[in-house]
């Protein structure tokens, strides 16, 4: 099988897939839709990060594609519904870089609270500005976390260890960790917190989530951070609040339109404003996190292609499978309608094929049944299962 890995994915992913028998092609940058359609010819597995977009058109043009790995947390760059309809499981790394993001958030809060970016710039320009005015400790400050998922909850724990008072808001009912206080609404959180940090997901419903109204509601001279998604914040509104002094400082790691490759030109309305930290979407980009992500996602791609396992797929029914030595495995993804398993079993029974083991999982409109048998599978049996109207993909492993 062949794998295409884009956007400078860590070399451990290459090693992991090569050891599983893959032929690997790597490319440093992202590809646009037309380039990706062409590059995927003959490719079984695709690995991307956050910049390459996998659209329905890309998937439809490459029906041989078995799986997509997002070597990052977010998957909004992939048409998950289209991938599910074409029986292409998508895997990501929901946990691997949480610590890296948390550490960057805390580092930037300290930078902003101490106004160290301005001190640094002054010294580089030959100005000695030794004074405490506008410089604060973070101990005892009220931190407001918007989004209490894997990153937000871990940030909550570490920030509390540094002496911050933690408040959070999440649309879902989440268990507060440590002494964190849950707020019943975003407005309540904005009224309390002295520092707001966003950690929401990439759902389209979050587009424009934080704008002029929310900035106006924040306490005067608060700090603002966004290390989630660029399209959730109105950066023009943030610029106005920074220039007016209502917001004392900001740190931004994500942008609505990000360059495709390192070295490309970048522009933002936040450039050139004092006490603003801009970073090029590197929240999870530590060597430790990228190695862990490379190993984790490549392992998921390996396990799916060689065993049929879909554990932690973001769009496919979940089955955790072990290796069955000496047997044959039929991995059948299908429309979730009544009677599919009965039809599969009837086809096998009509051909005197005994079932050693069988598992079924469903997720929304789709199902996944894996059948282990000890005998060889005749070609006409495989074709009969592929000809079922519910079949989306059948693999013989």
pLDDT per residue as tens digits for the range 42-92: 999 999 998 999 999 999 999 999 999 999 988 989 999 999 999 999 999
Q: Are both 175 and 196 inside the same structural domain?
A: yes
Is residue 275 within 8 A of residue 119, CB to CB? The reply is no
Q: Are both 71 and 110 inside the same structural domain?
A: no
* Whether 332 is catalytic: no
Q: Which long-range contacts (CB under 8 A, 24 or more apart) does 359-365 make?
A: 359/319, 359/321, 361/310, 361/317, 361/318, 361/319, 362/317, 362/336, 363/84, 363/315, 363/316, 363/317, 363/318, 363/336, 364/84, 364/336, 365/84, 365/85, 365/335, 365/336
pLDDT tens-digit profile of 96-128?
999 999 999 999 999 999 999 999 999 999 999
Q: Name the residue among 153, 55, 169 with its Cα closest to residue 101.
A: 153
2 within domain boundaries: yes
Q: Name the residue among 385, 381, 380, 342 with its Cα closest to residue 360.
A: 342
| Distinct helix (H) and strand (E) counts, the chain | 13, 16
* DSSP secondary structure letter of residue 184: S
Domain hosting 394: range is 323-397
The catalytic position among 199, 229, 302, 332 is 229
Q: Cα–Cα–Cα angle for 269, 274, 276, nearest 5°?
A: 65
Rg of the chain (C-alpha set): 25
Q: Are both 332 and 296 inside the same structural domain?
A: no
Q: Are both 153 and 269 inside the same structural domain?
A: yes
What does the pLDDT read at residue 204?
86
Q: Cα–Cα–Cα angle for 154, 160, 165, nearest 5°?
A: 120
Tell me the pTM: 0.83
Q: Helix or strand or coil: residue 143?
A: strand
* Whether 7 is catalytic: no
What residue has token string 């947390």?
73
pLDDT tens-digit profile of 201-260?
888 889 999 999 999 999 999 999 999 999 999 999 999 999 999 999 999 999 999 988
Q: Give the separation between CA 280 and CA 259, rounded to whole angstroms.
A: 9
Q: CB neighbours of 215 closer than 8 A, spacing ≥ 6?
A: 224, 237, 238, 240, 241, 246, 247
193 within domain boundaries: yes
What does the pLDDT read at residue 260?
82
Q: Are both 329 and 304 inside the same structural domain?
A: no
Q: Are both 133 and 209 inside the same structural domain?
A: yes
Q: Helix or strand or coil: residue 388?
A: coil
Q: State the CATH number of the domain containing residue 384.
A: 3.30.70.260
* Whether 258 is catalytic: yes
315 within domain boundaries: no
Residue 139, Cα to own-chain centre: how many angstroms?
Answer: 31
Q: State the CATH number of the domain containing residue 215.
A: 3.40.50.720
The catalytic position among 99, 114, 219, 281 is 281
Q: Are both 269 and 164 inside the same structural domain?
A: yes
What does the pLDDT read at residue 162?
97
From 225, 257, 278, the end of a domain falls on 278
pLDDT tens-digit profile of 135-150?
999 999 999 999 999 9
pLDDT tens-digit profile of 162-186?
999 999 999 999 999 999 999 999 9
Domains contained in the chain, number: 3
User: Is pLDDT of 323 > 80?
Assistant: no
Q: Are both 83 and 109 inside the same structural domain?
A: no
Confidence of residue 324 (pLDDT cuts 50, 70, 90): low
pLDDT tens-digit profile of 291-315?
999 999 999 999 999 999 999 999 9
End-to-end CA distance of the chain: 13
Q: Are both 268 and 338 inside the same structural domain?
A: no
Q: Are both 53 and 43 inside the same structural domain?
A: yes
The catalytic position among 25, 103, 118, 258 is 258
Is residue 83 within 8 A of residue 240, CB to CB? The reply is no
Helices (H), the chain: 11-19, 33-39, 56-60, 80-85, 98-114, 116-124, 150-161, 186-192, 212-217, 235-244, 287-307, 340-350, 379-386
Q: Are both 187 and 264 inside the same structural domain?
A: yes
What does the pLDDT read at residue 133?
92
316 within domain boundaries: no
Q: Please give the structure tokens belonging to residue 85.
A: 């309809």
250 within domain boundaries: yes
What residue has token string 């997509």?
68
Q: Are both 180 and 301 inside the same structural domain?
A: no
């Amino acid at each position: 099988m062949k794998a295409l890995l884009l956007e400078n994915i860590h070399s451990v992913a290459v090693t992991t897939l090569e050891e599983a028998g893959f032929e690997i092609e790597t490319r440093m940058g992202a590809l646009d839709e037309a380039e990706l359609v062409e590059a995927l010819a003959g490719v079984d597995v695709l690995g991307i990060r956050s910049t390459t977009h996998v659209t329905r058109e890309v998937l439809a043009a490459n029906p041989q594609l078995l799986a997509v790995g997002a070597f990052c947390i977010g998957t909004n760059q992939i048409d998950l519904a289209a991938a599910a309809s074409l029986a292409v499981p998508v895997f990501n790394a929901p946990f691997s870089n949480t610590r890296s993001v948390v550490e960057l958030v805390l580092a930037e809060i300290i930078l902003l609270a101490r106004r160290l970016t301005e001190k640094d710039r002054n010294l580089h320009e030959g100005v000695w500005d030794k004074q405490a005015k506008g410089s604060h400790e973070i101990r005892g400050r009220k931190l407001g976390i918007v989004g209490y998922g894997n990153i937000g909850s871990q940030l909550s724990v570490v920030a509390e260890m540094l002496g911050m008072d933690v408040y959070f808001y999440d649309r879902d009912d989440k268990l507060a960790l440590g002494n964190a206080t849950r707020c019943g609404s975003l407005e309540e959180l904005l009224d309390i917190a002295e520092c707001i940090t966003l950690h929401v997901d990439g759902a389209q419903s979050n587009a424009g989530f934080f704008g002029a109204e929310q900035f106006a509601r924040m306490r005067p001279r608060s700090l603002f951070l966004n290390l989630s998604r660029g399209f959730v914040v109105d950066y023009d509104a943030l610029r106005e609040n920074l220039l007016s002094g209502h917001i004392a400082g900001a740190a931004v790691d994500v942008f609505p339109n990000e360059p495709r490759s390192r070295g490309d030109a970048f522009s933002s309305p936040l450039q050139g404003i004092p006490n603003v930290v801009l970073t090029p979407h590197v929240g999870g980009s530590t060597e430790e996190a990228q190695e862990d992500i490379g190993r984790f996602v490549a392992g998921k791609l390996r396990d799916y292609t060689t065993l049929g396992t879909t554990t932690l797929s973001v769009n496919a029914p979940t089955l955790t499978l072990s290796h069955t030595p000496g047997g044959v495995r039929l991995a059948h993804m299908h429309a979730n309608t009544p009677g599919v398993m009965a039809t599969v079993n009837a086809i096998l029974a009509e051909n005197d094929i005994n079932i050693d083991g069988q598992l079924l999982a469903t997720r929304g409109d789709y199902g996944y049944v894996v059948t282990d048998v000890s005998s060889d599978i005749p070609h006409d049996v495989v074709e009969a299962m592929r000809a079922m109207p519910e079949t989306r993909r059948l693999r013989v492993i």
